[in-house]
């Protein structure tokens, strides 16, 4: 192979190398732009989701405030204050008929109702 053919092949190889380098750079830039657009879309979607969540929280707070206001008006005391007119639990635990519930019976009741504790109170007229 002659020297001019070698030079032409070398020049073609260098041109091909720079073409590949430019193409790679172009694809990387395109990928970065696509990634930025996707990220911006995600940010916009998250911001919309956050605003929707904030609106739902505000609506829930308004409902809770309305219920607290209604309870305060209905019962004449602030919801956050401890109740003063509650009936203390009968001690020992009694059934509505006034029978004392022993510990074994209490354990049976708790087992029957999946660990939920029920304390029976004596009617207020018997106190």
What does the pLDDT look like over 88-112, one tens digit per residue? 554 555 555 656 666 555 555 555 5
Residues of the chain with pLDDT under 50: 90, 122, 126-127
- Rounded to a whole number of angstroms, the CA Rg of the chain reads 39
- Which has the closest alpha carbon to 94: 58, 121, 60? 121
How many whole angstroms separate alpha carbon 69 and alpha carbon 83?
Answer: 16
Query: What residue has token string 């004596």?
Result: 122
Question: pLDDT at position 75, please?
Answer: 74
Helix %, strand %, coil % for the chain, to 5? Answer: 70, 0, 30
Question: pLDDT at position 12, please?
Answer: 94
Question: pLDDT at position 67, please?
Answer: 87
How many whole angstroms separate alpha carbon 37 and alpha carbon 39?
Answer: 5
pTM of the model: 0.39
Question: pLDDT at position 55, please?
Answer: 93
């Amino acid at each position: 192979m002659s020297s001019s053919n070698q030079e032409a092949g070398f020049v073609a190889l260098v041109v091909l190398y720079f073409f590949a380098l430019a193409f790679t750079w172009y694809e990387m830039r395109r990928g970065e732009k696509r990634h930025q657009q996707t990220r911006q879309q995600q940010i916009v979607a998250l911001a919309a989701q956050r605003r929707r969540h904030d609106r739902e929280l505000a609506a829930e707070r308004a409902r809770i405030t309305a219920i607290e206001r209604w309870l305060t008006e209905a019962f004449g005391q602030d919801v956050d204050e401890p109740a003063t007119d509650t009936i203390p639990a009968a001690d020992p635990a009694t059934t509505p008929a006034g029978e004392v519930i022993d510990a074994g019976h209490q354990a049976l009741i708790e087992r029957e109702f999946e660990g939920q504790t029920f304390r029976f109170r004596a009617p207020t007229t018997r106190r």
